[in-house]
Structure 1
């Protein structure tokens, strides 16, 4: 994995490269970033750069013996640890290394659900067990075989639990030329004893333009489809890639038509929408609700006078401006609440026809009859 293949994150890439060129490589580092930000890919690219035999100013060379082995994730000085679903108490990450290589090669932005798909998880809980902790200590007790550094990348240390305390000594007092890279999503779930012993590298979520550009150049999406997926994914490339596998119909047109039918209290149109939405499939229904929530939040920005912060494509922004002229912030917030509740129930397999009909009726009350749920103060337009 080279830096050039990672979407965006230019500031983080430069910081990592500078740490190597300026000989400031910390022995224990924590890559902390939300799902889909590319933090795991950055850690692998960083490890490859550290081990590269012909480092370039902005990336590893990609052709030396070390880089070729890294591209296959088969370098003798590169080790991985990650949550897995143990069938036996002595299972370790090495038991599942072939599946791990396949999963990362197919999608460097994988999440735990994607990883689960490569394993026979059944109903087991993912974790990093004590046998794996002992294996980590053993791996890091040896000297490097080929490169200057022996590197271990530990993905999702949140799953270490109290067994992680057995790693404190190897993190705090590692063997010479040992590099320990942790890749996490939730800082609050990491053992404080481990957190205090690492150098923090914050990886922000991706921005709208980076995801849109990637979808246009690498995934053959239209301008409209790329913009909509980038907007819906909210900086999460994992979500964006998953949306590519789903129906790419525009949620914008359908959502606006729905709001207009509710505003006009056209019952036949609301019923027609209910039938249509019920056939969309659960993932598309969830994405549709997420789009609606995001769209109305942009309307709230317009209503609050912060139009410059709106991220919608031009034609959608124009529609949002028109929508903002017929509703106020409390109404928008009330509808958002209804959509969030609907998203929650869709995830739990609620009957879609009943669900969408109920939400339609709630929106009609809010927009047409201007009746807000208790606790929300109405401000006239």
Structure 2
């Protein structure tokens, strides 16, 4: 589970203990995560879509009736973390409006996750010989702390980032107990104290029980914001003590529009990436920096082998694809093949526009006179469904090769079932 740790004030150093204390140089990881070189600075606009959520939060701020605890839940990558951070920014904004101004000193510090009245809590690896009551970071190695700092710095650059910290599987009770301790102390600055618990479902049982005590007796002027994509894994008593704010799933169209506007991606590529993202904007940003063209060529090569390769070549192709990719990657490979076949169908039927791989598509249509492209697309769709259901991948690919032959080149079927390729099956 990708979660996080607690950012807290380093009293000895007199500055926030967070990734903001690192060098201001942008790392390759930041470029991978987002094409933007600076943190988001657009108030609610930093949240992709979610108009209902923005209206709700604006209403809360306008009414001045802020609850002591909120639970932001929604599908993974729909924007729980960005929404929580933006809400915290608005609550701490010096102008006290219905959204963060993005310009005052408080807003700037929240954006960099360095405001002394804002604390993030998320999973940490267990420290060496860590005991109950130890500070969450006190038993970690310098290398582990540096890695955590870097992940928080990247989170500030892109709040959609799913933080990755090795061996950080649970939110520790020491992190949760520190919430109550910190909230009872005099603040470094006046105003609200805000604690954001990222991926709250990662709390261990003892941590959940500790949080419940805090929710039952909330400290004065303290606001807790929990985020999760798995609310059913939280204690019901925790959920019942929070104002539950639900985020809607993001559509492929909303993700495509965000990629075009925020990352300056051309519509064709944005559409392809959005389709592969599964409604997860963080995943869409990662996909931007993977070589979709190369992977699309790999999918088409599989098709070419299925149609014209020898039985041994087909078997080798199935084995290569199955061994080189994880289940999710194979599903994405098949979706790229499906898109390629759809382009062929549109071209054959005189659809508007020139596909990127128009030459190869025309050669396919010209060579196979009896081609049944809807049948081929349906065959790939069935294969994608089987992959999602954890079917045996080599057998799925074997049956797909047969189905593609039947749909595209029925006059020259290759009997792969009685060939060495058959060994790819169970």
- Alignment TM class, shorter chain as reference: 0.7 to 0.9
Task: Kindly state the Cα deviation for residue 255 of structure 1 after the two structures are TM-superposed.
Answer: 4.5
Report the Cα offset of residue 8 of structure 1: 1.9
Map Cα deviations across residues 33-67 of structure 1 (whole Å, 9 max, x no partner).
2221121111011001011111445x311222211
1:33 matched to 2:77? The reply is: no
- Within 5 Å, give how 1:277-296 maps onto structure 2: 278=320, 282=324, 286-290=328-332, 292=334
Which residue among 152, 157, 179 is the counterpart of 1:106?
157
User: Which one has the largest radius of gyration?
Assistant: 2
Normalising by the residue count of structure 1, what TM-score does the alignment of the two structures yield?
Answer: 0.73
- What does 1:205-354 align with in structure 2 at a 5 Å threshold? 205-249=249-293, 255=299, 258=302, 262=306, 266-268=308-310, 271=313, 275=317, 278=320, 282=324, 286-290=328-332, 292=334, 325-326=374-375, 334-340=382-388
Check the 8 A contact 1:83/1:128 in 2, yes or no: yes
Matched, 1:18 2:59: yes
Counterpart Cα distance in 1 of 2:191 and 2:77: 30
Q: CA deviation at 1:359?
A: 4.3
Q: Cα deviation per residue 1:170-202 (whole Å; 9 max; x = unaligned)?
A: 112212221110011101211222122111111
State how far apart, in whole Å, the 1-side matches of 2:171 and 2:280 are. Answer: 25
Instruction: State the alpha-carbon separation in 2 of the partners of residues 27 and 103 from structure 1.
Output: 28
Deviation, 1:225, is 1.4
**Distance in 1 (alpha carbons) for counterparts of 2:175 and 2:122:** 9
Pair 364,292 (structure 1): closer, same or farther in 2 beyond 3 Å: closer
- Residue 146 of structure 1 corresponds to 189
Matches of 2:168 and 2:65 in 1, distance apart?
38
Aligned equivalent of 2:120: 80
Contact 2:201–2:230 under 8 Å retained in 1: yes
Residue segments in structure 2 that go unaligned for 5+ positions in a row: 1-39, 342-352, 362-370, 408-414, 416-426
Distance, in Å, in 1 between the alignment partners of 2:382 and 2:290 is 29
Residue pair 1:77, 1:151 contacting (<8 A) in 2 also = yes
Runs of 5+ unmatched residues, structure 1: 300-312, 346-354, 372-381
Aligned to 2:103: 63
Instruction: Classify the secondary structure of the residue corresponding to 2:271.
Output: helix
CA offsets per residue over residues 130-181 of structure 1, 9 Å max, x none?
2212211101223544343111000111121211112222112212221110
Distance across 2 between alignment mates of 1:108 and 1:190: 22
TM-score (norm 2): 0.66
1:303 corresponds to which residue?
Answer: none
Looking at structure 2, the residues matched to 248 and 296 of structure 1 have their Cα atoms a distance apart, in angstroms, of 14
